Every structure is written in structure tokens, then in C-alpha cells.
Structure 1
């Protein structure tokens, strides 16, 4: 059998190539390349899918987090609590707004933010909490939201990896003051290019976000504030509208694969992510931990299976944040995960034969 990659986008795009190219043709005919009707169409469709009043398309998930912070009034002197175990973009949002990220360790079993440790990090400068639906698995929204309400903090969902995931039977992206999405090509709902989005039920936030993403302007050549060129492109919006129709089908296949992995992987050396009863994730990536990571990765490679690492350096130990004074040992669970995580192949086009081979190979390690 030929190599099984950790991620393979070719299969997905071959299935919908004709639809994507037809959508691109319509964008070309209208020359609606920056913002415009195709972005507006996707915004309407995605807001309906999530179950919110507003969806605001932007250039990528990182700019979504940046604009979310700005529109919520977060800036210099403020602190924003985030998990130490997440992709670095979660921290960029507060940093780009001039605020300081405050990192909280992850739970040793779910690998999501350890809610029991959040309150210890809240201080007079704390303005918000960003919860991350990591790996496509929802965190415990109600508990985080209760802390935000107790301390009068802003609540933001980072749903960059979780398009279509459900928390207590409701699609994520509607629980916070706003939620931020990435539509990077490798995501469960990925554009043909870079794209991101913000969802909210607030008319006020939406009005402000429309200005911020468009040079601080609601009317051409009139700039009410310092703004940004963070618009979504028309080709990206059109491709997302095509893919949104398939998202639930693709996510359900990911769920099937995850069930097979969770039931089939019985090697006691391998630890699987704990799945809470209220969580119906979409398995953007399928992460396991193992003491001998290099050994497992080599064993997989010897059997034509490519693994990946998400994420091998925790946020608090990144050089970019060395000025904050964190040191190794401050967030032990996040650090263990970073040193021992392995991502197995996960995408809807995996065949049952390929999945069986991955399971067999992992169990033989």
C-alpha cells in the first residue's frame, strides 16, 4: 500500500472540483475578488449554520482573533486568559491588540483548558477568557461562561478547529460574546486560500467589525478609526459556500474514523484523548500521546504512515513570549503533551483499509 499521509486535501478537492471551478467562474464574471456578494452569501449561510445573527468574513483566523479583541475593547494593560495548549494564533489575538496573554495549563485527560485553574490566574487586569475547542473537541462552555459571568469578563470561543462541533447538541460558535473561526485550507471547512470569520449575536459588535476589517471605514474614503485591510476574498467566499454544503457529511465521516480509532487502538503505551459525554467533536486532528514519540513516529513511517505534531512547543515556552517570564515546569500538563503528542492520519477520505492499517500498526508498536 502506498504512503498514508497525515492530511491529504487532494481527495476532497477532486470530488468537488467542478462545483468549485463553476463558483470561481461566477466570481470572475462579476470580478468580485475582494469582499462583495460571494463573501456576503457565505456570511449569511454560515450564520444560519451556526445559529447566530451575524457572521463576518475576514482574511484568516488570526485576524479574526485580533479584530475580536479590538471590537471588545481589549488593549494595552489588559490581560486575556487562554490555554497554554493551543496553536499560537490564539495568543496572537490579544498580543496584536496590545494586551497580554495569560496561559493556563490543560487538563491531563481532555487536554482542554483546565477550568479548575482559571480563577487562580484572574487578576485586576483580566478582561477576557478565550476558550479553545481544541482538535475539534468542545471545551466545557458552561463552566467557562459561569466564570466569565462571575468576574464580569468577556467570553470568546476560538473555534478555529471546530466548524460543526456540537456542545450539548448545539453547534459551537454561538456561546460567547463572539467566536472566531479559521477557514485555512486544512480545516474541516477550509477555503481555497486563506480566510477566517467571526460569529456573534451583537449588532453593535458586527457594525464595528465591518469597519475594522475595512480600513476603519463604513463609507469610502471616510475613516473613523485606525483600521485594517482584513477582508475575505471573493474566491475564498465562493469556495466556502460550496464546501459548507458538504461539511456535515465530512464531519460525520471524521466521527466514524474516530470511533474506529478509539475502539481499535488498544496498545497500553498509547493514551487517547478523553471524550466527555456532552462533547460531539469533529476531530479536526486525532492526537494521541506516547512516552517514546520518536519511536512511534519511526515505526509508523517504516509502515508508510506519516504522523504529525500538534503542537511540539507550548505557547508559554515560545521565544516570542520569553519576556513574560514563563519557565519549563509552569504548565506541566501542556508541556508533557507538547513533548509526547502524535497526530495520526485524519481526513474524511481515509478508506476503511487505511484506517485498519493505522490501527494495526499502532497496536504493534
Structure 2
């Protein structure tokens, strides 16, 4: 379908860098540094500087970032890791993949973010870590997370996949925990041209461990110290990310501007927004609205050529893949209600004022009957 308001605009992301990027790719293809080339090292250094950490380790995907971070932190068989149920499948999948047990909690009804009160209630003698998810681009209160973790002796992993550039307090997400995990999938605010991810951290020993683990556990060629993974950031993807990284804050500001228009023009309608973010604490990877008429509104928008979508229509605790955890409908009601009543409006930095206006007018026309 030819959308009047599409969900993404990929050409706009490379229009200013296309010539430089293609020249760099040509040199790479001729030079042969296809795996862990210099561009990977350069991107890791630049990304760590941007986030505010000592280290960044590039990996194959955001899912692998979570798996390798948990593994490197020593989390494994029989350990419990607490996380939120209204997230992408990969957040809980990573816990299972290292042999640990996901313990799922609900989100807050206003922020849509992890309910730290429930986290505290779920801590047991087997709990090793908590994974907080900066969902839709809005940051979790990391000061509160650190307080909870310190009191209970827990490790902290941040799923930052949707929140590059977002602040929590005065520091960027992914900069203060044991590990910040990033996805650069094509839909993300900093997008590769395929799968890519990274882990940000400040511990040099953990950084070395992750560097070896992602590369077959090698310290050098054919010297394998640990059973590792084949999860290396592709050099071509590193080139794409290096060229886009300087644009992230500009693109983030454009997202915030569009979100503010949505909030202003849709105010007073029978819908609710994600709330609780202070200045700088939301980068609007997704713009979520909640309404009791979600399905009808979604159909109305899509008929008009607006590529709205439902994100996470089934919470993790009700997914068949995690059925052996024993959760049932009604166990985590806030997330279940969000899954039934929320939808995502198109929002990307290249949206025109006319497109934003058309989305708002279409929503008004729906509620006016």
C-alpha cells in the first residue's frame, strides 16, 4: 500500500550521507576488512563517548546484546531475573537463553514503564538481576532502580533499544548500570541497514570478557579461553552507524517536536498518552495513545492511508513461548489492558507538518462520528 503517512522514511536518513557512505563501503569491499574491521573499533569508541561510558562492544543484534551481557555478568542456570511483561519478546528470551528464569512484573498505568514496587515484591533468594526497559523511548527512573538494586544486592541491565539519547536524571540511559543493551535494527532511532547491536559498560574486565565472548571466546586467533558466541557487529553496519550517529540528537529533537504537536492537537479527546517524562527523558521512538476504541480507530486510520500499528498486542506473560512460566490472563492487568487499548501513531523525523496535521484531523474525524 502507498501510505499517505508511512511509519518510516529510510531515504531521509541517508540523503545527507549517501555519497560519503557509499565511498566508504566501496573502500571496505575492496579492502576486505569485513569482520571486526577498523570501522567497528571506531564506532565502539564514538558510541561509548556519546552514551558516556568507558566501553562499548558491538554485537550482531540487540537480542545478542542482552544475552551476552547476562552471560558475561555470570547469570545462568536457575537464577531469576526480574523484568517487565510489556516489552518485546527478546527481553525475556535473553533470560531464558542463558538458563535463567524470567520473573515478570507489570507496568505503571501512566508511564507504561516497569513498576518498581512490584519488582521489590518479587525479589527472592534466587534473584540476581533486574532488566529495566526504557519503553517507547521514555526512560525509567534509574536513580530509583539503583537504590532498589543496592538495597537488594542485584545487578542492573538496561534494555535501551528504543531510547538512544534519552536522559534519566542528568545522565543518558545505558551509562550507569552494569550493562546497557542496544539494538540498531532498521526501525530504531539509530538504525543500521540490517541487524546490529551493542553493549555499553564501564567495567574493563567485563568489557574484555564481552569482546572475547562475541568472537568465539577467542583472546587471539585459535586460542579459545571460554565457550563463546559468533556475534560480531558487521563492519558495513558499523559504517552505517558511524555516519548516522552525529544525526541522532537532531533527529531526536524532531521527534520531540512532532510528539508535542500530537499532544497539543489531540488534547481533550477520549485518549490517554504515556506520561511522566521530564525534559530530555523521552525520545519518542514510538508515540503511543490509549483508547477504548483502539481497534475501530486503527482501522479508520489505516483506511485513510495512515500506517498506525499495534505494538505488543500480547504481553510476554501470555505468549505461548513462555507458557511454562505459568502466568494466566489477569495476572498482570495493566499490561493486558495496554495490549488491548493502545496503538502507535506514525512518528519519524522526516514527517511534514501536513502529515502530522492529517493524522490529527483523521483522529478528530473518528471521534466526531
When normalised by structure 2's length, the TM-score is 0.96
Alpha-carbon displacement from aligned partner over 1:16-69 (angstroms, at most 9, x marks no partner): 322321221232232111112110000000000011100000000000000000
1:342 aligned to 2:336? no
The structural deviation recorded for 1:2 is 5.8
8 Å contact 1:64–1:196 — kept in the other structure? Answer: yes
Determine the C-alpha separation between the residues in 2 that align with 1:159 and 1:252: 18
The answer for the alignment partner of 1:58 in structure 2 is 59
Give the paired residue count: 365
Determine the C-alpha separation between the residues in 2 that align with 1:150 and 1:224: 34
Determine the C-alpha separation between the residues in 1 that align with 2:102 and 2:132: 12
8 Å contact 2:212–2:218 — kept in the other structure? Answer: yes
SS at match of 2:82: strand
Unaligned residue ranges in structure 1 (runs of 5+): none
The answer for the alignment partner of 1:25 in structure 2 is 26
1:303 aligned to 2:304? yes
RMSD across aligned positions (CA): 1.3
The answer for the alignment partner of 2:206 in structure 1 is 205
The answer for the alignment partner of 1:322 in structure 2 is 323
Determine the C-alpha separation between the residues in 1 that align with 2:337 and 2:27: 49
Unaligned residue ranges in structure 2 (runs of 5+): none
Alpha-carbon displacement from aligned partner over 1:131-156 (angstroms, at most 9, x marks no partner): 11100110111111111100100011
Determine the C-alpha separation between the residues in 2 that align with 1:278 and 1:359: 23
Determine the C-alpha separation between the residues in 1 that align with 2:3 and 2:123: 51
The structural deviation recorded for 1:278 is 6.0
8 Å contact 2:134–2:162 — kept in the other structure? Answer: yes
The structural deviation recorded for 1:364 is 2.3
Determine the C-alpha separation between the residues in 1 that align with 2:302 and 2:281: 31
1:167 aligned to 2:171? no
Alpha-carbon displacement from aligned partner over 1:240-278 (angstroms, at most 9, x marks no partner): 000001111111100111111111112532111113336
Alpha-carbon displacement from aligned partner over 1:128-180 (angstroms, at most 9, x marks no partner): 00111100110111111111100100011110111111112322111211100
The answer for the alignment partner of 2:95 in structure 1 is 94
Determine the C-alpha separation between the residues in 2 that align with 1:302 and 1:215: 49
Determine the C-alpha separation between the residues in 2 that align with 1:164 and 1:191: 16
8 Å contact 1:267–1:363 — kept in the other structure? Answer: no
The structural deviation recorded for 1:227 is 0.7
The answer for the alignment partner of 1:274 in structure 2 is 275
Determine the C-alpha separation between the residues in 1 that align with 2:27 and 2:142: 40
The structural deviation recorded for 1:97 is 0.5
Determine the C-alpha separation between the residues in 2 that align with 1:285 and 1:276: 14
The answer for the alignment partner of 1:71 in structure 2 is 72
8 Å contact 2:37–2:235 — kept in the other structure? Answer: yes
8 Å contact 2:3–2:307 — kept in the other structure? Answer: no
The answer for the alignment partner of 1:111 in structure 2 is 112
Determine the C-alpha separation between the residues in 1 that align with 2:278 and 2:186: 30
SS at match of 2:128: strand
When normalised by structure 1's length, the TM-score is 0.97
8 Å contact 1:158–1:180 — kept in the other structure? Answer: yes
